[in-house]
Structure 1
Amino acid sequence: MNGAVSQSLGWALLHLLWQGTLVAVALAVALRVLDRRAASVRYLLSCGALALLLVLPALTGWHHYVSLQKAEPLPLAPASLKRTAPVTQAPGFVLERAVDQRSPVAPLAARPTPVLERALPLLGEHMHWLVFAWALGVTVSSLRLLSGWLKLRRLVREAEPAPAEWQEALERLARRLGMSRPVRLLRSAALDVPAAVGWLRPVVLLPVTALTGLSARQLEMVLAHELAHIRRYDFTVNLVQTLVETLLFYHPAVWWMSRVIRVEREHCCDDIAVGTSGNAISYARALTALESLRVLPLGTASPAMSALGGSLTDRVRRLVAAPATRCSSRWVAGASLVTLMSGVAVAGPLVALALPPAPPTATAEAPEPPAPVSAPMAPAFPVPAAAPAPLMAPPAPPALMLAQAPAPAPAPAPAPAAKPMSSGKRDMDEDPDSDYDSDEDTTRVGDKPLSVDQLVALKVAGVTPERVKELESLGYEPTVANLVQFGHADMTPEYVKEMTASLGRKPTAEELVEMRHVGVTPERVKGLAAAGYGKLSADDLTQAAALGVDERFINELRSAGYDKLEFDDLVELRALGVNGEYVQALKAAGYDKLSAEDLTQFKALGVSPEYLRTLREAGFDKLPAEQVVEMRAQGVDAAFIRKLRDEGLDKLSVDELIRLRSSGVDADFIRQLRKKQ
Structure 2
Amino acid sequence: MSAFVFALGMTLMHFLWQGLLLGCVTAAALTLLRNSRAEYRYLIACSALFVSLCWPVLDLFQRLNGDAMSASASIPALPWSTQAIAEDSNWFNLLDSMRGIVSAWALCAAVLALRMIAGLLWIDRTSRQPATCNHQEQLRWEASLSRLAQRFGVSRTVRLRVIDTLSSPVTAGWWRPVVLVPAALIGRMPPDLLEALLAHEMAHIKRHDYLINLLQSVIETLLFYHPAVWWISNRIRIERELIADDTAARQLGEPRRLALALSELEKLQFSTHQLAQAANGGNLMMRIQHLLRPAPQALNWKTAVAMLGMAMACLSIYAEATAADKQVSDRVKPVVDFNTCAKPVWPQAAIQEQRTGTVKLAFLIDRNGKVGDSKVEHSSGHADLDEASRAGIEKCTFKPATKAGKPVESWTHLQYVWILE
TM tier, smaller: 0.5 to 0.7
Helix, strand or coil for the counterpart of 2:63?
A: helix
Picking from 71, 75, 79, the partner of 1:91 is: 75
* Unmatched 5+ stretches in structure 1: 70-89, 96-117, 326-349, 381-677
- Say if 1:157 and 1:139 are closer, same or farther in 2 by CA, change over 3 A: same
CA contact (8 A) 1:64 1:357 kept: no
* d(CA) in 1 for partners of 2:183, 2:78: 66
CA distance in 2, matches of 1:248, 1:120: 26
SS at match of 1:172: helix
Counterparts in 2 of 1:50 and 1:357: CA distance versus 1, 3 Å: farther
User: Shift of the alpha carbon at 1:280?
Assistant: 2.2
The match for 1:150 among 98, 121, 134 is 121
> What is the TM-score of this pair, normalised by structure 2?
0.65
3-state SS, counterpart of residue 406 of structure 2: coil
Correspondence for 1:249 among 224, 246, 251: 224
Alpha-carbon shift at residue 144 of structure 1 (Å): 1.5
TM-superposed CA distance for 1:94, in Å, is 6.2
Contact 1:67 1:357 in 2 (8 A): no
Distance 1:276 1:91, change over 3 A: same
Instruction: Give me the whole-angstrom Cα distance separating, in 2, the residues matched to 1:28 and 1:121.
Output: 39
Cα contact 1:155–1:190 (8 A) shared by 2: no
Using the alignment, how far apart are the partners of 1:155 and 1:358 within structure 2? Answer: 60
Q: CA deviation at 1:216?
A: 2.8
Question: Structure 1 CA distance, aligned partners of 2:78 and 2:34?
Answer: 49
Alignment pair present for 1:67 and 2:42: no
Aligned 8 A contact 1:10 1:128 in 2: yes
CA distance in 1, matches of 2:227, 2:195: 38
The 1:360–1:354 alpha-carbon spacing in structure 2 relative to 1, beyond 3 Å, is closer
Question: Is contact 1:195–1:306 with CA below 8 Å preserved after alignment?
Answer: yes
Q: Supply the AA of the counterpart residue of 2:171.
A: A
Could you say what secondary structure the match of 1:364 adopts? strand
Distance 2:180 2:330 in 1: 55
Matched, 1:316 2:282: no
Moved more, 356-365 or 268-277: 356-365
CA offsets 1:180-215 (integer angstroms, 9 cap, x no match): 111012111221211111111100111122223223
Query: Who is 2:16 aligned against?
Result: 17
Identity of aligned residues (%): 36
Partner of 1:420: none
Count of residues paired in the alignment: 308
2:406 pairs with 1:377: yes
Deviation for aligned residue 1:220: 1.9
- Determine the C-alpha separation between the residues in 2 that align with 1:92 and 1:121: 18
Structure whose alpha-carbon radius of gyration is higher: 1
Residue 30 (structure 1) aligned with residue 29 (structure 2) = yes
Match of 2:154 in 1: 179
- Residue identity in the other structure for 1:48: S
1:214 aligned to 2:189? yes
- The verdict on how the C-alpha distance between 1:278 and 1:172 changes in structure 2, with shifts beyond 3 A counting, is same
Q: Does 1:141 align with 2:112?
A: yes
Q: Hey, what does 1:126 align to over in structure 2?
A: 97
Cα distance in 1 for partners of 2:75, 2:207 equals 42
1:189-268 aligned within 5 A: 189-268=164-243
The AA in structure 1 aligned to 2:110 is T
Q: Which runs of 4+ in 1 moved over 4 A?
A: 92-95, 118-122, 353-363, 365-369
Structure 1 position 48 matched with structure 2 position 14: no
- Amino acid of the structure 1 residue aligned with 2:113: S
The 5 Å alignment of 1:566-645 reads: none
Classify 1:37/1:225 alpha carbon distance in 2 versus 1 (closer, same or farther; 3 Å). farther
Distance in 2 of aligned mates of 1:62 and 1:322: 46
* Cα distance change of structure 1 residues 379 and 272 upon mapping to structure 2, 3 Å threshold: farther
Name the CA distance, whole Å, in 2 between partners of 1:200 and 1:166.
Answer: 21
Query: Residue 267 and residue 191 in structure 1: after superposition, are their counterparts in 2 closer, same or farther (change >3 A)?
Result: same
1:625-655, Cα deviation, whole Å (9 max, x unpaired): xxxxxxxxxxxxxxxxxxxxxxxxxxxxxxx
Q: Aligned equivalents of 1:10 and 1:361: distance in 2? A: 23
Partners of 2:66 and 2:76 within 8 A in 1:
no
Mapped partners of 1:188, 1:134: distance in 2:
36
User: What are the ranges of 5 or more consecutive residues in structure 2 without an aligned counterpart?
Assistant: 69-73, 80-88, 298-320, 335-361, 370-396, 410-421
Name the CA distance, whole Å, in 1 between partners of 2:140 and 2:296: 38
Per-residue CA deviation, residues 134-186 of structure 1 (Å, 9 max, x unaligned), is 11111111122122222222322224175223222211111111111110121
Deviation at 1:129, TM superposition (A): 1.4
TM superposition shift of 1:29: 0.1
